Structure 1
Amino acid sequence: MTLYFDPGPLLGEDREVFRGRWEDRLWLNVPGPFYGGETDTCRTGRFSAPQHVLYGGKYLSEYVYRQPRIPAEVARLVEAADCDPFLGYGCDGDAHWTPETVREWWRDRGRISQYLADHDWDGIDWAGQGVTAAVRDYETYLAGSLATDLRIYLHWLEEGRSPAPGERLPEL
């Protein structure tokens, strides 16, 4: 079972790079502690965290399409946030997401699927970053294992801890 990663242990310089504001969070972000808000449009995030960051929205800002699960993945996301000159990434999602808002996001996930399907991602695959493949990965994730990851996140929000092996998870 995938465990939830608590960003609480991020200290010092690592925490400093997360200055994004919740109000600026891009709607494409997957629920969890980390998100992209008003990031620059230089599209550097995928160089550091290719399995977590995509580009989207009106200005193709960076957003988190898969939350990190282990410290090495968090380190890559910290690097992506550090490369953003606008410091538009945030790590305080746990203070804002509620079980109700996570379930609402899940109910509206078709909006994300439609957005991903409606764009020509081949035309914006800068510097061979694999944007098109990552978009397909996000689509597969939306249709598959994201449901379980969100149920684990719901457990975290409701219980304040990762679920024990075999423990029943909340429904979406």
Structure 2
Amino acid sequence: MITYWNPLPTARRLVDTDDRDPFTGKWAERKPRNVPGPFYSASTDSLQTGRLDAPDHIAYDDDLGGGFGWEFVYRQPVNAAGTEAVVNAARLELYSGYACDGDDHWTVEAVRDWWRERGEIRAWAVDLAVQWEANAHPKYRGHYHDAAHGLREFIAFIDDGLDRYLRGYMFWLAEGCSPEAGRLTPDL
């Protein structure tokens, strides 16, 4: 069954008492590897702390060249625990480069466009995971192996599960609610 769970009420409750808003990222700076959904990373620092709190949701890219670049959301949270993990990752991010206003920007057609590009994203993730596993400096081997593991999890999600999530999310975008049993969801 395809459903969608809205994580934003939980996220708002969690950050309501924070001294600093962890979600000040800008859509115009969004990293294209972020999976469609309410959460995304934009201009984050390059310390790669997101997987410490949200390994099931955050991965790293190589956009800084040679090593690690920025964090990105490879799996949107689908329950309160996952939402708390993403919020905590955003709280750790030095530049507050995460955002939670993706629903204001994504459209059904934009999600379809992202899905059409998944092959390129998947190929990039496969190549980078292999590179990080093979070329990790012994001093940083644990970090590189964890980063490669995050990319392999992203690849597995692209292969099995992401399509169902995106169909539920597209229904949410179009209808403003989760699809009930028996309701047709949009095709990718």
TM-score when normalising by structure 2: 0.85
Q: Which runs of 5+ in 2 are unaligned?
A: none
Deviation readout 1:51-77 (Å, 9 max, x if unpaired): 000011413101000000001111111
Determine the structure 1 residue equivalent to 2:44.
39
Which of 60, 69, 85 does residue 78 from structure 2 map onto? 69
How far 1:171 moved relative to its partner?
0.6
Q: Residues 15-164 of structure 1: matches in 2 within 5 Å?
A: 16-59=21-64, 60-119=69-128, 120-122=131-133, 123=136, 126-127=142-143, 130-164=146-180
Q: Which runs of 5+ in 1 are unaligned?
A: none
- Is the radius of gyration larger for structure 1 or structure 2? 2
TM-score when normalising by structure 1: 0.92
- Range 86-95 or range 10-19, more displaced: 10-19
**Contact 2:22–2:98 under 8 Å retained in 1:** yes
How far 1:6 moved relative to its partner?
3.8
- Range 162-171 or range 10-19, more displaced: 10-19
Q: SS at the partner of 1:118?
A: helix
Q: What RMSD over aligned residues (CA atoms) do the two structures have, in Å?
A: 1.9
- What is the distance in 2 between the residues matched to 1:125 and 1:28? 24
**Contact 1:19–1:90 under 8 Å retained in 2:** yes
- What is the distance in 2 between the residues matched to 1:43 and 1:13? 25
Deviation readout 1:82-138 (Å, 9 max, x if unpaired): 001100001000000000100000011111012112221223755477222221111
**Equivalent residues, number:** 172
- What is the distance in 1 between the residues matched to 2:142 and 2:109? 37
Q: One-letter code of the match for 2:165?
A: D
- Range 118-127 or range 86-95, more displaced: 118-127
Q: One-letter code of the match for 2:29?
A: D
Q: One-letter code of the match for 2:58?
A: V
